[in-house]
């Protein structure tokens, strides 16, 4: 009994191996999705304008399209009179071409008719007669181009609009909507299967019975995967049974890019996951010299990663955040460092650490200080107020109160 | 022609009226959802622990459950020998009660058998004989409670766990999972219908034709609604037609808490939305003295709000962010101020503003300065790099370069 880690690695080395594995096995992929559903997705390409905005010379006011020079000299005392030959509202257009002395009644947003080069605002006009032969008196002269937004004056055709790797906010989605873009190319989400293992685990639908505990890792890892912009496929709880675990991993690999399990990497009664991965692929790392999180397994099966996180929920979260999350975020176009945001804060009190392996301590942030939550590493309670963690290097045995430490926030 | 705003309000007054309307018409509601799908939802209640964690006295090590006093004096030279009467793995339990001189083989996570009060680690033991009558030699004495996590030592039953108004992160979801919580009460999302109006509007599925433009507001408002933690129901584009708009608003109100339209509030050819709301409810505000965003309508129909945003996309976004978003966020339990985050930055260059109404200027943030995007207010291009806006009070005509301004970020 007791677990033997045959491929144990130092934290730094493990990180390098895992990063390299991700680089080697996974390429960034894109997919086309409906623009309207693209909230917070990441653009894959630089997007150029495909149409000019506005797409036509557009009236900026309600009034009358005229030839500007016909209005020159108009004033309250000396209005100029125009024959109204047509009316054009937003969404329609006039087929007529305007000649000297003619006006076309026009709404904001409507295309400026041929032959006219300015809009005389309705506020400085007065219709003389209604009906087909009506006229309008203009009381103020307008200059050429007045109150017209020229075609392309907002956005020219074929100009850079949104660059690749942009997070699509409502406003950016609006910019692309103006282009009539129905679909947009975005970074494809990785599909990740999540499996919990352990004879002692119950789902939240089960009634508790003696000796069993509720599974935590399915929900934390599923939602951690989501927080990395990936898609999680919950595969349920598997007993510590070689065949069941092997079957579940093999079927999960068929429909996902990565399989993440938890538990089963340091069981006293055996090490089922290690045996399965040895038989269907290759165990790359078995054990990382960190606390908590030592019983971690990294395996490669048919060109895909199988990641065995510790069963201990705190260890599982630390290992996921430190070693896995940055790689996932990179592959879906997110800033790898935005999660686990690093801040520098004072430590609230002296802490001791075990020399020889990197230690991660859950912390709470209060009054701009990091308060270590000194509980045994499996403590769920600690998680309810943990806001992040600090990393104690393996050579450090002691950090004094008020020393500055680097904290990583969840 | 030209729009008359009969119920125009100053920005400050409009904000007060709108906030009061939200308070009067909407109550915070909750709903129960599956815990596993609760990512980033907001807890409605203070949640207490319903079970102790661990739910039983749990072994922290692989080894042998014994009576501690039976091991006293054990050493490498003088091991104590125990009769192994049972084996218990995580997820199961032993029905036996341990007597003096007896041991039960135990795995990490398994319940500590009756009669035993300590775990002797496997590393300091040696099995003497296999089979039903096997014995174990223990080489190191253990003290009472050693390597046992007492029932409730992590979390006692009936203790505060997660407080109301907590955003459910993966870690918090984990804490509730440990309790066997299958569902969780969270703030209910408001359901908001989004309607664009205008004869000139095309959907992104349409081919562009002369005089038409692509609808922007459906997508920006839909996704702005989502960013406020609410659910958006896209109702499509409605022509500037009294009956069609009235029907669409009436049917939308039946299935949503709020209806948001855009356009149709300052059309030259009429003011269809105002007429509809006057007939089926009450127009509370028609026109807000701001730039952009003046043609805004706030109506009340059957105890629900109908919000008419300007057709101009920049105006629509400004009005939504300034007047509507904080109220929506409050009702779904989000921090009203987290969106439109206020920062203080230097202005890059002198700006002029029209006295007499509050003006909102889109800005870009570069080198810790706010760069005003001085474009006509309907400009889509401006939106592609706008990161927020600054508010120029109505009494201010000029702000100098390098003056500190308050900027609100999208």
Kindly report the average pLDDT of chain B as a whole number: 93
| ipTM higher than threshold 0.85 | yes
* Cα–Cα nearest to B360, from B368, B370, B369: B370
Q: Give the pair of three-digit tokens for residue A21.
A: 């594995």
Q: Between chains, do B154 and A107 touch, taking CB under 8 Å as contact?
A: no
Residues contacting residue A76 through CB under 8 Å, at least 6 positions apart:
A139
Kindly report the average pLDDT of chain A as a whole number: 92
Q: Under DSSP, is residue A19 helix (H, G, I), strand (E, B) or coil?
A: helix
pLDDT at A381 over 70: yes
Q: Are A363 and A386 in contact (CB under 8 A)?
A: yes
Residues contacting residue A238 through CB under 8 Å, at least 6 positions apart:
A195, A196, A197, A244, A245, A248, A261
Q: How far apart are CA A102 and CA A88, in angstroms?
A: 14
Q: Give the pair of three-digit tokens for residue A60.
A: 């900026």
Q: Which of B2, B54, B227 lies at the smallest CB-CB distance from A62?
A: B2
Q: How far apart are CA B212 and CA B323, in angstroms?
A: 30
A55: exposed, middle or buried (C-beta count within 10 Å: 0-12, 13-18, 19+)?
Answer: buried
Residues of chain A positioned with their CB less than 8 A from the CB of B224 = 170
Q: What is the pLDDT of residue B384?
A: 83
Considering only alpha carbons, which residue of chain A is nearest residue B125? Answer: A1
Q: Which of B92, B204, B376 lies at the smallest CB-CB distance from A177?
A: B204
Q: Between chains, do B107 and A317 touch, taking CB under 8 Å as contact?
A: no
Regarding predicted confidence, which is higher, B284 or A394? B284
Q: How confident is the model at residue B132 (pLDDT cuts 50, 70, 90)?
A: low
Q: Which of A123, A268, A410 lies at the smallest CB-CB distance from B169?
A: A410
pLDDT tens by residue, B56-104: 999 999 999 999 999 999 999 999 999 999 999 999 999 999 999 999 9
Q: Under DSSP, is residue B95 helix (H, G, I), strand (E, B) or coil?
A: coil
Tell me the average pLDDT across A197-204. 94
Q: What is the pLDDT of residue B196?
A: 96
Q: What is the pLDDT of residue A290?
A: 95
Q: Between chains, do A53 and B313 touch, taking CB under 8 Å as contact?
A: no
Q: What is the pLDDT of residue B341?
A: 83
Query: CA–CA distance from B318 to each of A151, B292, B295, B298, B361 (Å)?
Result: 25, 8, 12, 15, 9
Q: How confident is the model at residue A173 (pLDDT cuts 50, 70, 90)?
A: very high
Nearest-Cα distance to chain B for A254, in Å, is 24
**Percentage of chain A surpassing pLDDT 70?**
96
pLDDT at A375 over 90: no
Residues of chain A positioned with their CB less than 8 A from the CB of B375 = 154
Q: What is the pLDDT of residue B3?
A: 54
Tell me the average pLDDT across A125-140. 86
Q: How far apart are CA A154 and CA B316, in angstroms?
A: 18
Tell me the average pLDDT across A257-263. 96
Tell me the average pLDDT across B369-374. 88
Q: Between chains, do B219 and A313 touch, taking CB under 8 Å as contact?
A: no
Q: What is the pLDDT of residue A270?
A: 56
Nearest-Cα distance to chain B for A326, in Å, is 16
Q: Which of A91, A154, A169 lies at the smallest CB-CB distance from B212?
A: A91
Considering only alpha carbons, which residue of chain A is nearest residue B314? Answer: A171
Lookup result for tokens 């230097």: B346
Phi, psi of A395 (to 5 degrees): -85, -5
pLDDT tens by residue, B95-109: 999 999 999 999 999
pLDDT tens by residue, B278-330: 999 999 999 999 999 999 999 999 999 999 999 999 999 999 999 999 999 99
**Percentage of chain B surpassing pLDDT 70?**
96
What radius of gyration do chain B's Cα atoms show? 33
Q: What is the pLDDT of residue A267?
A: 46
Q: Which range has the worst mean pLDDT, A194-203, A336-345, B304-313?
A: A336-345
CA B309 from centroid of its chain's CA atoms: 25
CA dihedral B347, B350, B354, B358 (to 10 degrees): 10
Q: Which of A36, A204, A215 lies at the smallest CB-CB distance from B222?
A: A36
pLDDT at B375 over 70: no
Nearest-Cα distance to chain B for A156, in Å, is 9
Q: Which range has the worst mean pLDDT, A86-95, A130-139, A147-156?
A: A130-139
Q: What is the pLDDT of residue A193?
A: 98
pLDDT tens by residue, B178-199: 999 999 999 999 999 999 999 9
Lookup result for tokens 């709880």: A237
Q: Which of B122, B174, B226 lies at the smallest CB-CB distance from A216?
A: B174
* Cα–Cα nearest to A104, from A93, A292, B143: A93
Residues of chain A positioned with their CB less than 8 A from the CB of B201 = 91
pLDDT at B376 over 80: no
Which of B57, B180, B205, B234 should be substituted to probe chain A, the one whose Cβ sees the most A Cβ atoms within 10 Å?
B180
Nearest-Cα distance to chain A for B322, in Å, is 15
Q: Between chains, do B214 and A180 touch, taking CB under 8 Å as contact?
A: yes
Q: What is the pLDDT of residue A3?
A: 53
Regarding predicted confidence, which is higher, A43 or B406? A43
Q: Which of A110, A269, A381 lies at the smallest CB-CB distance from B211?
A: A110
* Cα–Cα nearest to B376, from B268, B267, B291: B291
Which domains, from first to last, does chain B contain?
Answer: 11-29+188-331 (3.40.980.10), 32-51+159-186 (3.90.105), 58-149 (2.170.190.11), 341-409 (2.40.340.10)
CB count, 10 Å around CB of B100?
10
pLDDT at B151 over 90: yes
pLDDT at B335 over 90: no
Q: What is the pLDDT of residue A1?
A: 39
Tell me the average pLDDT across B18-40. 97
Residues of chain A positioned with their CB less than 8 A from the CB of B181 = 204
Which of A157, A170, A206, A231 should be substituted to probe chain B, the one whose Cβ sees the most B Cβ atoms within 10 Å?
A170
β-strand A30-34 against A183-187: which pairing, if any?
A: antiparallel
**Percentage of chain A surpassing pLDDT 90?**
83
Residues contacting residue B240 through CB under 8 Å, at least 6 positions apart:
B197, B198, B199, B263, B264, B267, B269, B270, B272
Nearest-Cα distance to chain A for B22, in Å, is 23
Q: What is the pLDDT of residue B340?
A: 73
Residues contacting residue B94 through CB under 8 Å, at least 6 positions apart:
B86, B87, B88, B104, B111, B113
Q: Between chains, do A213 and B149 touch, taking CB under 8 Å as contact?
A: no
Tell me the average pLDDT across B113-120. 98
Considering only alpha carbons, which residue of chain B is nearest residue A59? Answer: B211
Considering only alpha carbons, which residue of chain B is nearest residue A54? Answer: B213
């Amino acid at each position: 009994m007791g677990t033997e880690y045959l491929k144990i690695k130092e934290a730094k080395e493990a990180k390098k191996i895992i990063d390299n594995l991700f680089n080697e096995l996974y390429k960034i992929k894109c997919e086309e999705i409906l623009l309207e559903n693209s909230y917070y997705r990441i653009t894959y390409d630089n997007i150029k304008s495909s149409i000019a905005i506005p797409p036509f010379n557009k009236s900026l006011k309600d009034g009358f399209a005229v030839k500007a020079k016909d209005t020159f000299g108009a004033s309250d005392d000396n209005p100029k009179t125009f024959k109204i030959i047509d009316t054009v509202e937003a969404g329609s257009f006039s087929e007529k071409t305007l000649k000297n002395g003619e006006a076309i009644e026009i709404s904001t947003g409507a295309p400026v008719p041929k032959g006219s080069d300015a809009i005389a605002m309705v506020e400085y006009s007065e219709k003389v007669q209604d009906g087909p032969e009506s006229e309008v008196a203009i009381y103020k002269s307008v200059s050429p181009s007045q109150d017209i937004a020229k075609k392309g004056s907002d956005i020219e055709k074929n100009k850079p609009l949104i660059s690749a790797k942009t997070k699509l906010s409502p406003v950016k989605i609006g910019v692309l909507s103006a282009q009539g873009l129905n679909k947009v190319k975005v970074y494809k989400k990785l599909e990740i299967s999540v499996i919990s293992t352990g004879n002692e685990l119950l789902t939240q639908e089960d009634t508790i019975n003696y000796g069993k505990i509720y599974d935590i890792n399915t929900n934390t890892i599923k939602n951690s995967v989501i927080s990395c912009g990936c898609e999680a496929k919950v595969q349920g709880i598997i007993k510590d049974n070689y065949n069941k675990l092997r079957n579940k991993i093999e079927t999960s690999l068929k429909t996902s890019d990565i399989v993440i399990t938890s538990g089963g990497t340091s069981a006293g009664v055996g090490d089922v996951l290690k045996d399965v991965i040895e038989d269907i692929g290759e165990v790359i790392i078995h054990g990382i010299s960190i606390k908590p999180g030592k019983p971690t397994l990294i395996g490669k099966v048919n060109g895909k990663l199988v990641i065995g996180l510790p069963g201990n929920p705190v260890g599982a979260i630390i290992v996921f955040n430190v070693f896995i999350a940055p790689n996932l975020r990179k592959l879906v176009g997110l800033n790898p460092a935005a999660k686990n945001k690093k801040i520098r804060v004072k430590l609230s009190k002296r802490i001791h650490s075990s020399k020889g392996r990197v230690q991660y301590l859950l912390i709470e942030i209060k009054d701009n200080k990091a308060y270590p939550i000194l509980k045994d590493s499996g403590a769920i309670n600690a998680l309810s107020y943990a806001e992040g963690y600090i990393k104690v290097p393996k050579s450090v045995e002691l950090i004094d109160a008020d020393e500055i430490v680097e904290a990583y926030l969840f």
